[in-house]
Chains A and B, each alone.
Chain A
């Protein structure tokens, strides 16, 4: 698999990755300029104007924009995202607290979404009694806003059935050891299965609410590419060799259908990052959503920029990985 063309392909993808991160930093820098957020004024609410100006000069905030941009990129490289106006902590410190629950939720939701996508696509390719109605339901599901899915979940599984908890990460936050950030992972690593079950139970509804939209979108793309691939000449060839339908599906159809679904997955990760903020709010979970919400309320731009930077970076890196996976799945792409 590894050859010159592949190496060239990998190199161009990595170069594009670096370029995109630079673009992201420039975008955030420009937005920061537009927002007019002034860290000095925010940190010295009662100071004289001259004192503020002196402080600004000391910090180099009156330098020309290009100089400040270069310094900004340097700060980002050192993972210095500035100081939150609201918490007065370094944004990086805040993120260490709020990122893990969000990432755990997104990862679980992504796995659920992929599993559901496979289920939806294969079950709707087949024709069975009621499959028309089923496809209709899937269509309606794909148009439902995330928060409404969460609300329906709360009404049915919390209020009516009482099966699942409504809010938070665990039943009693005080029982969680202070050093644990990745609750799902840490409870598993430390063998605390009771805690693990508790955390998992709290994840079910948020993860489903977050996963259903992307699952339907990915599933729809996957389904249509499976249908299209089944019509292609090489599938006819495979059948003419006398292969069983199962072998035709696994050896010839799936691999050639997976690319559209992969791109869609990459794209939907972006929607999930936005969706997770909504879902955290619906289920009152701690995480980037609550952090961002609180920051938005007081126009705490460094915090907002920090959240944007982290999520966008994860998104860009993941999509680069997806690109590379596609190159491996289809040898024609690397050329």
Chain B
């Protein structure tokens, strides 16, 4: 074949600016900070997984004098009204909240993802029916419905999990369906069809990879919200029954002690806040990192 006829004009294309030294430094620093935050998220997950090993005492047995304040030797966060170690209870409470939040988001993403992808990819009446159902869920107040579902199913961790997942997946279905529709309307999908790609190949190679970043960002931003919702339900008495350690329920039970022994309700409450804070920071970090990639 013959040589190029068209390379010289590339020189006339607009020259974009070059990164100054400061700009490059700033970009690198932002990336670094974001990776550290994502690292904290991973570390928190490890803590949750290893909680039984990390906790110094049995969380449900009295192991010291009651009402030991924060900073007591051997009891970093003090003890509660019957002398159980608060640090051990908080660590195991973190384990429950965090792992459950991750599972709720993962399962919600899976269900919502399948519904969203099927609706988005098929369109037509499949899309109409699936999205009508999704919209109904979205139009109901999620937290209230979760309470009703949990009440109907009865107490227990499994039922709380079910209650939250039932109200949570529609958000993902909506978002992922929207993303798929937006991608499917882009010319690149038609171009792929012209290039001979079949339905499945278009799905796998030209649509799905575009959804992953959105799904990942949405999910990571959402973990914090799930943590807070779980804590509220557990605060209201829907969750594990006593004496199992759980952050929301421990705060609620500790309310009677608030004025005399503030640390008993505050410590588990603070733990919820830390979880939610880390999750939100990590969500923002993931979003920034993904934005750089796209």
Closest partner residue, chain B, to A304 (CB atom) = B151
Contact across chains for A151 and B258 when beta carbons are under 8 A apart = yes
Contact across chains for A274 and B141 when beta carbons are under 8 A apart = yes
A145–B228 CA distance with the chains assembled, in angstroms: 6
Closest partner residue, chain B, to A20 (CB atom) = B139
Q: Is A9 part of the contact surface with B, judged by Cβ < 8 Å? A: no
Given contacts A145-B272, A148-B273, contact A278 B236 (CB under 8 A): yes
Contact across chains for B151 and A299 when beta carbons are under 8 A apart = yes
Q: Is B63 part of the contact surface with A, judged by Cβ < 8 Å? A: no
Contact across chains for A145 and B231 when beta carbons are under 8 A apart = yes
Which residues of chain A are within 8 angstroms of B280 by Cβ–Cβ distance?
139, 142-143
Which residues of chain A are within 8 angstroms of B277 by Cβ–Cβ distance?
140, 143
Q: Is B76 part of the contact surface with A, judged by Cβ < 8 Å? A: no
Given contacts A151-B258, A159-B259, A282-B255, contact A273 B143 (CB under 8 A): yes
Q: Which of B30-38, B111-119, B262-270 contacts A (4 or more CB under 8 A)?
A: B262-270
Cβ distance B98 to chain A, nearest Cβ, rounded Å: 14
Q: Is A28 part of the contact surface with B, judged by Cβ < 8 Å? A: yes
Closest partner residue, chain A, to B268 (CB atom) = A148
Contact across chains for B147 and A274 when beta carbons are under 8 A apart = yes
Given contacts A143-B276, A154-B258, A155-B258, contact A31 B143 (CB under 8 A): no
Chain B contact residues: helix, strand, loop or mixed: helix
Q: Which of A38-46, A120-128, A254-262, A310-318 contacts B (4 or more CB under 8 A)?
A: A310-318
Q: Is A275 part of the contact surface with B, judged by Cβ < 8 Å? A: yes
Contact across chains for B276 and A293 when beta carbons are under 8 A apart = no
Given contacts A145-B269, A148-B269, contact A296 B151 (CB under 8 A): yes
Q: Beta-carbon contacts of A280-319 to B below 8 Å, as 1s and 0s?
A: 0110000001001101110101001100100110011001
Which residues of chain A are within 8 angstroms of B149 by Cβ–Cβ distance?
31
Q: Is A99 part of the contact surface with B, judged by Cβ < 8 Å? A: no
Closest partner residue, chain B, to A158 (CB atom) = B259
Contact across chains for A147 and B252 when beta carbons are under 8 A apart = yes
Most buried by A among B139, B146, B279: B139
Q: Is B237 part of the contact surface with A, judged by Cβ < 8 Å? A: yes
Contact across chains for A143 and B151 when beta carbons are under 8 A apart = no
Contact across chains for B145 and A27 when beta carbons are under 8 A apart = yes
Contact across chains for A20 and B136 when beta carbons are under 8 A apart = yes
Q: Is A23 part of the contact surface with B, judged by Cβ < 8 Å? A: yes
Contact across chains for B232 and A145 when beta carbons are under 8 A apart = yes
Cβ distance B172 to chain A, nearest Cβ, rounded Å: 16
A278–B237 CA distance with the chains assembled, in angstroms: 10
Q: Is A32 part of the contact surface with B, judged by Cβ < 8 Å? A: yes
Which residues of chain B are within 8 angstroms of A146 by Cβ–Cβ distance?
232
Contact across chains for A147 and B235 when beta carbons are under 8 A apart = yes
Q: Is B142 part of the contact surface with A, judged by Cβ < 8 Å? A: yes
Q: Beta-carbon contacts of A4-34 to B below 8 Å, as 1s and 0s?
A: 0000000000001001100110011001101
Contact across chains for B144 and A297 when beta carbons are under 8 A apart = no
Which residues of chain A are within 8 angstroms of B88 by Cβ–Cβ distance?
none
Most buried by A among B148, B238, B252, B273: B148
Chain A contact residues: helix, strand, loop or mixed: helix
Given contacts A144-B273, A148-B270, A304-B151, contact A281 B144 (CB under 8 A): no
Q: Is A35 part of the contact surface with B, judged by Cβ < 8 Å? A: yes
Which residues of chain A are within 8 angstroms of B235 by Cβ–Cβ distance?
145, 147, 278, 281
Q: Is B152 part of the contact surface with A, judged by Cβ < 8 Å? A: yes
Q: Is B74 part of the contact surface with A, judged by Cβ < 8 Å? A: no
Which residues of chain A are within 8 angstroms of B273 by Cβ–Cβ distance?
143-145, 148
Contact across chains for A24 and B140 when beta carbons are under 8 A apart = yes
Given contacts A293-B236, A301-B152, A305-B148, contact A145 B276 (CB under 8 A): yes
Which residues of chain B are within 8 angstroms of A28 by Cβ–Cβ distance?
148
Q: Is B170 part of the contact surface with A, judged by Cβ < 8 Å? A: no
A148–B248 CA distance with the chains assembled, in angstroms: 10
Contact across chains for B136 and A292 when beta carbons are under 8 A apart = no
Q: Is A277 part of the contact surface with B, judged by Cβ < 8 Å? A: yes
Given contacts A20-B140, A147-B269, contact A308 B228 (CB under 8 A): no
A202–B172 CA distance with the chains assembled, in angstroms: 40
Contact across chains for B148 and A319 when beta carbons are under 8 A apart = no
A139–B269 CA distance with the chains assembled, in angstroms: 17
Closest partner residue, chain B, to A295 (CB atom) = B151
10 CB-based A-B contacts, threshold 8 Å: A23-B140, A35-B154, A145-B248, A145-B272, A148-B251, A148-B272, A273-B144, A274-B229, A292-B236, A312-B144
Residues of chain A at the chain B interface (Cβ within 8 Å)? 16, 19-20, 23-24, 27-28, 31-32, 34-35, 139-140, 142-148, 151, 154-155, 159, 269-271, 273-275, 277-278, 281-282, 289, 292-293, 295-297, 299, 301, 304-305, 308, 311-312, 315-316, 319
Given contacts A31-B152, A148-B251, 5 further A-B contacts (CB under 8 A): A143-B276, A151-B265, A270-B142, A275-B232, A315-B144
Residues of chain B at the chain A interface (Cβ within 8 Å)? 136, 139-149, 151-154, 224, 228-229, 231-232, 235-238, 248, 251-252, 255, 258-259, 262, 265-266, 269-270, 272-273, 276-277, 279-280
